[in-house]
Structure 1
Amino acid sequence: MSEEPPIPPTSLSAELVDALNQSTPKQLRDIATYAEELAERKERETHREEEPDRDEADDLPDDVPAKATITIKEINDNRYYYWQWRDGNQVRSQYKSPVSPDE
């Protein structure tokens, strides 16, 4: 690991970078966890708005809870639908299908 401090992304404001630099390691890990969960939620909301209306309960697998939502994950430039739900402190995912090229 490099002894040089990390270079912040240019998309972050100076105020946010300053606040992060003043945070403890535990606070930074808490921030990272929160930021990841928030990003996932916002992505789900965006994908939900982009997806056509359909009754997802019809194709819900037996081992996926009814509260699950569909999210799109990009892996190696390919897009896939996943069922996603919260199970205690963890977010669980289960593969659903590939995203068709016209979506």
Structure 2
Amino acid sequence: MSYEPPTPPANLPTEIVNTLNELSPEQLQGIATYAEALAEHKEREARLEESADQKEMEERPEDLPDDVPVKATITIKEINDNRYYYWQWRDGDKICSQYKGPVSSDE
């Protein structure tokens, strides 16, 4: 073990390095344990989010536009005796719709 103090990572902010240099060995051990657990937690959250995004992309219907969420359903609206398909979904307290296309006469 070297008698020289360790060199902090270059990407660590100076304020954090200065604060760490003022702490006791016990406090530093606590911070090390917490930092390792926090890093594992954030990595796990990132993997879960990536997995959810991947699953959403796999379940996304091919004809669903990019700006329409996967939870949207298809609704038929009648306007002036003509029937149209719309994507429809809830966004908070409001209901959003986006035109999909006309309902063909054989449907």
What's the TM-score once normalised by structure 1's chain length?
0.50
Higher relative contact order (CA 8 A, sep 6+): 1
Larger Rg: 1 or 2? 2
TM-score by length of 2: 0.48
